[in-house]
Amino acid sequence: MGLPDGFLWGGALAANQAEGAWNEGGRGPAVSDVAKYRPHVDPREYAVHHQHTLESIAAAMADDDIAYYPKRRGIDFYHRYREDLALFAEMGFSVLRVSIAWSRLYPTGEELEPNEEGIAFYLDLFSEMRRLGIRPLVTLSHYDPPLALALKNNAWVDRGTIALFERFSRTCFERFGHLVDLWLSFNEIDGIIRHPFTSGGIIDETVEGSLEQACYTALHHQFVASASVTRMLHEMWPESEMGCMLTMLTTYPNTCHPDDVAATQAKERLLYLCTDVQAGGAYPRLALKALEVKGIAIPFVDGDVELLREHPVDYISFSYYMTLTESVRPDAERTPGNTVLGVKNPFLPSSEWGWQIDPVGLRISLIDLYDRYGKPLFIVENGLGMRDELTEDGRIHDPYRIDYFRSHFAEMIRAVDEGVELRGYTSWAPIDIISASSSQISKRYGFIHVDQDDLGNGTGERRRKDSFFWYQKVIASNGADLA
């Protein structure tokens, strides 16, 4: 009983939220560089799609401010990664999930040759991880398509982006494949439906026709690109593995009224659409029908069906933060979750940002996914965003974070005991970074505190929180000691 030997423990980051150095080393602008911090915004607003217009993008790009565009500065991981990796190694990490900024290698996405300065940075990063015994788990696309592609042709809406992504991926496999053997194609691939600009470089006002159709077109292009680079990886590095990545928004019926149950079932069908395609190899008939009813057509071209069928992913990864419920009652109370507004569950507590805390939901999610696909799973994001206080003793006491992880680990281990095949766990994020949805750093997730406020003031100093030492013990005991 308990976790198997060789279980991978670590943390997860994304380039656009951690690296900073947005205009250094030959990097081109990414869509994340125009994400603006909006103080005094109700957390609920972060859960709904925030539109970027040509005007807001032009205004952002005419300004080199890094206070209100926090993803441009991140936590300066670009310059401080050695120090950060040393702290991760001290916690005992055997894996670290990072992403590669596409525009660091191909500044506009369209160059024929990669930017060697960008290559040098990632080579150094992955070599240092290997030197410390930390296995890199690398996401090819995590919310940062090159801005030039978004402005030119709404990035992923254009089928031509598949070939550009293949070029970028080939470079990654060629240049880093000797150091990296665990890959993920698209972070939270389903997210393109909820936040088209961040995931897919889609600018609403320039879309011809329906935005929803454009999102599903772009999603299909990402599915095809993912299958294509999975084939490429297997040809180039037969031992390496490619995973898909889903936002696990597990949803319960709000009541046992059959209408609520049916509404939940319909929601789940779309939730699982992405894993059905990426792990199962085909669009399910019922999901296609549901899209057709909404007037949405998937733009298949010759060869797509075979490509998806013949090149599914090797493992399924997902983020898990919270669960929601579904109700047909229009007046049902809603609460924000991870880029989504859902119906509140009266049995669950929530964080200040409204995300409901549900450890049992993690077990349910693991069992559902394993039961459905029978492929190895990897939890690549899970954590609690909270404000932390630096106390007079110069420490950060964060029992709430320890409680969150303890309860989630207990359920994760229980799922493994019940038979789920789980490869590893990476917390989001092991060090405080810029929030994807709110661009705040005060929504802190880390075991390591970063001295920076929401406008970027601070020394950037790293400090171990109480949870740092707790996680270190958990890892050392392979999950046996959660005390």
**Contact string (CB under 6 A) for ligand BG6, positions 244-283, x = contact:** ---x------------------------------------
The CB-of-46 to ligand BG6 minimum distance in angstroms stands at 7
- Catalytic residue from among 19, 241, 381, 411: 381
Look-up of token digits 């109480």: 466
381 is catalytic: yes
Q: Choose one: 76-84, 114-122, 253-261, 437-445; the region binding ligand BG6 (CB under 6 A).
A: 437-445
Amino acid at 412: M
Nearer to ligand BG6, 129 or 436 (CB): 436
- Cα separation of 359 and 368, whole Å? 15
| Half-sphere exposure in the Cβ direction for 360 (13 Å, CA) | 6
Neighbours of 301 (CB within 10 A): 9
Using CB under 6 A, which residues numbered 438 to 477 contact ligand BG6? 438, 443
Neighbours of 108 (CB within 10 A): 16
The CB-of-143 to ligand BG6 minimum distance in angstroms stands at 6
**Angle CA 237–233–186, to nearest 5:** 140
Q: Choose one: 89-97, 129-137, 170-178, 435-443; the region binding ligand BG6 (CB under 6 A).
A: 435-443
Nearer to ligand BG6, 9 or 46 (CB): 46
The CB-of-58 to ligand BG6 minimum distance in angstroms stands at 25
3-class secondary structure, 334:
strand
Which of 312, 385, 446, 456 is the binder for ligand BG6 (CB under 6 A)?
385
The CB-of-35 to ligand BG6 minimum distance in angstroms stands at 11
Using CB under 6 A, which residues numbered 116 to 155 contact ligand BG6? 143
Which of 115, 217, 278, 319 is the binder for ligand BG6 (CB under 6 A)?
319
- Cα separation of 215 and 459, whole Å? 40
Give the DSSP per-residue string, 209-266. S-HHHHHHHHHHHHHHHHHHHHHHHHHH-TT-EEEEEEE---EEESSS-HHHHHHHHH
Nearer to ligand BG6, 43 or 92 (CB): 43
Nearer to ligand BG6, 141 or 438 (CB): 438
Check residue 82 and report its DSSP letter: H
Chain centroid to CA 234 = 23
Contact, 218 vs 298, CB < 8 A? no
Which residues are the active-site residues? 381
Binding site for ligand BG6 (CB under 6 A): 14, 17, 143, 187-188, 247, 319, 338, 381, 385, 428, 435-438, 443
